[in-house]
Amino acid sequence: MPTFPARIDSRLPQVGTTIFTVMSRLAQECGAINLSQGFPDFNADDVLFERVAHWMRAGFNQYAPLAGVAPLREAIAHKVAALYGTAYDAETEITVTAGATQALFTAVAALVHPGDEVIVFEPVYDSYAPAIELQGGRVVRLQLAAPDYRPDWDAVAAAITPRTRMIMINSPHNPTATVWSADDLAHLAALTRGTGIVIVSDEVYEHIVFDGTRHESCARDAELAARSVIVSSFGKTYHITGWKVGYVVAPRELMAEFRKVHQFNVFTVNTPVQLALADYMADASRHEGLAAFYQAKRDFFRTALGGSRFELLPSAGTYFQLARYRAICDEPDTAFVERLTRDSGVAAIPVSAFFADGRDERVIRFCFAKNEATLAAACERLCRV
């Protein structure tokens, strides 16, 4: 293998392979049950597959428009208006993306300039900070503290400076499974009022909220909607994470900037899949049972771990469950999940991976988006730890 003949100045010198890839690979090597990476082990509705095949056979296999096919953008506009009461123009304020991660990266690339400050909340999903740093922005990290992981709005107010360009939020929150309240959004609106701060709101788990709680989208608040780029994911909603299709809604001024970058880092997204999703969304009830579906899995998982030595933290949304393991040992969380994978045959994610400084609170994350047989087998092993 030849060697590159010059020194490479890495744009991301501190970044290695993501913890999700590392743990999924280890799970595969060990034959472990993979409760680490966030994906279901069950299929989507056959109707969705049939619609994809229909559009493929019908010859819709070439480039879609930059912003996405019109029927899907119109279906998204209808859904958002019905759920949150805000009307977005399908032509100028909605863009279909190659998954939520691309949407988040594109929003940052379009709107953050060198020297701008961007506030994020740790533990934070691992794609946020690299996107900011690649644009020359400065990441300002605020802490969500265990066990409730609520934002400290006094700390947010203190962190805002004249250089604050963006605040990135995520609710329902990965990895903590917390859900922001209407009061949280009211605080956010008050703190950004009269500023040029843009909100990037990662709402990919918008339909997975438990115990009768309502998802508080930034689209629900007119003041926040006017300054927010809101990201969602068909992968999370319809159990098709590998299809990598999401979307963004934003005011036309922000969307115009978003599309300037989108056209050069992706340009467009899989055409037959977009048309199939538009057909599928014609039935507005498709996502209505999702919260109950995943709440049942959460409850099954928590009950099955009732006899274990894990301390389960609250799970108010997403398909994740955090657990403390101090009653088992005091190993660092990364060492513990590696040993758990090798010795007990269950893979999880160390929450320290979501902190820039590797802060270790001896908490790990399980994904319960699995068939009950998978969960039962995993919990049987975990109860023996």
For the chain, what are the domain ranges? 19-44+288-382, 61-286
**Residues with pLDDT less than 70, the chain:** none
Q: What are the tokens at 3?
A: 């060697």
Q: How much is the pLDDT for 118?
A: 98
- Can you tell me the distance from the alpha carbon of 5 to that of 308, in angstroms, rounded to the nearest whole number? 54
What single string gives the DSSP state of each residue in 37-68? SS--SS---HHHHHHHHHHHHTT--SPPPTT-
Produce one character per residue of 263-298: b if its CB has 16 or more CB atoms within 10 Å, e if not.
Answer: eeebebbbbbbbbbbbbbbeeeebbeebbeebbebb
Cβ atoms of 375 and 297 closer than 8 Å: yes
Sign of CA dihedral 285, 209, 37, 338: negative
- Can you tell me the distance from the alpha carbon of 341 to that of 81, in angstroms, rounded to the nearest whole number? 44
* 5 burial via Cβ count (<10 Å: 0-12, 13-18, 19+): exposed
Q: How much is the pLDDT for 14?
A: 83
- Can you tell me the distance from the alpha carbon of 385 to that of 380, in angstroms, rounded to the nearest whole number? 9
Q: How much is the pLDDT for 145?
A: 84
- CATH number of 19-44+288-382: 3.30.2310.20, 3.90.1150.10, 3.30.300.350, 1.10.10.10? 3.90.1150.10
Report the candidate in 207, 143, 146, 195 with the shortest Cα–Cα distance to residue 171: 207
* Alpha carbons within 13 A on the beta-carbon side of 185: 23
Cβ atoms of 368 and 33 closer than 8 Å: no
- Can you tell me the distance from the alpha carbon of 42 to that of 371, in angstroms, rounded to the nearest whole number? 7
Question: Tokens 């594109």 belong to which residue?
Answer: 106
In order of 14, 44, 236, 353, the CA distances from 228 in angstroms are: 29, 30, 21, 27
Q: How much is the pLDDT for 8?
A: 87
In order of 48, 65, 79, 131, the CA distances from 247 in angstroms are: 18, 14, 12, 18
- Can you tell me the distance from the alpha carbon of 133 to that of 206, in angstroms, rounded to the nearest whole number? 27
Q: How much is the pLDDT for 5?
A: 87
- Can you tell me the distance from the alpha carbon of 44 to that of 124, in angstroms, rounded to the nearest whole number? 28
Q: What are phi and psi of 94, to 5 degrees?
A: -135, 130
* 226 burial via Cβ count (<10 Å: 0-12, 13-18, 19+): middle
**Is the previous residue joined to 175 through a cis bond, with omega within 30 degrees of 0?**
yes
Q: What are the tokens at 333?
A: 């969380």
Residue 382 CA to chain centroid, in angstroms? 26
Cβ atoms of 92 and 254 closer than 8 Å: no
Asked if the 61-286 domain carries CATH number 1.10.940.10, the reply is: no
What pTM, to 2 d.p., does this model score? 0.96
Cβ atoms of 321 and 302 closer than 8 Å: yes
Q: How much is the pLDDT for 284?
A: 83
In angstroms, the first-to-last Cα distance of the chain is 44
Q: How much is the pLDDT for 286?
A: 86
Q: How much is the pLDDT for 287?
A: 84
